[in-house]
Structure 1
Amino acid sequence: MIRPALLVPLLALGLSATVPAQTTYRWVDAQGQVHYSDRPPPPEIQELEARRFAAPPPDPTLSYTLRKLTADFPVTLYTATNCGDLCESARSLLGSRGIPYTEFPLANQADLATYRERFGVPEQVPSLSVGSAQFKGFEPGAWNRLLNDVGYPKAP
């Protein structure tokens, strides 16, 4: 028989194993305005793009501190195919600190729209977001300050 004191942690563990996915919808209305929403568009909309995003499960090999930081302040690296050495330097900086990140390549118009919502125009890659903070372009000092401010370790 399971003791009531053990039931709550076991239940929390079971609930945390399920990762909710979110669908994002993009559509253009009759006036030509582009809309993004987590709710489906009105029924009269004919052209619709829906993307389903799911948070990756936490990496069990990471320390508790890194798992907590990546949950609270996820790191996203925005890149492009023509980024070359700058993008490689950006990846190297994050890798040298052992920071888990998601790379978001700007491959199509929808990706550019997502970038512009976050950073504005003009596009400049590589760019970095750490939680709600961001920095456009690659400048190691500024990137390190962003990462340090939220508590990411300086070495793996």
Structure 2
Amino acid sequence: MLRTTAFNTVLLFITVLLANIASAEIYRWVDQNGKAHFSDKKPQHKQVNTVNVNQTNTYQNVELKPLGPSSVSTSRKRNKGVVMYSAEWCGYCKVARNYFQSKDIPFKEYDIEKSQKGRDDFNKLGGGGVPLILVGKKRMSGFSQQRFDNLYYRKK
């Protein structure tokens, strides 16, 4: 019983307080420099105008369509070219290729044993081993899905 009375008292207090706030007036006045001011408190010794505030615009039955995975991820894909230097016999190259295809990640692949351009670029990059993957200006030797995702999906 005591809890209910205390709760009702607090609820009544909040209701009165909110009603007071909702009915607060807005005052407008112009200072000696011609600058307009607005306040919820009426300034003393100033000529003021009461501002009528219209009801806030609200919208009903708004339909929001999700962006979908294509809009964000596609823009990132366009900004980050993926190039993979590979070899036919390389198991990690096959894993990387399958991953890129499964995620619709566009990539350019050069087989360093079949492509002269691929071999030349691979050597200019210091080669080492395959796969050698470039994500924009970032380089990754070998392939790990987590490391690739960190490079590819990293925020700018």
Q: What is the TM-score of this pair, normalised by structure 1?
A: 0.46
Which protein shows a greater Rg? 2
Normalising by structure 2, report the TM-score: 0.46
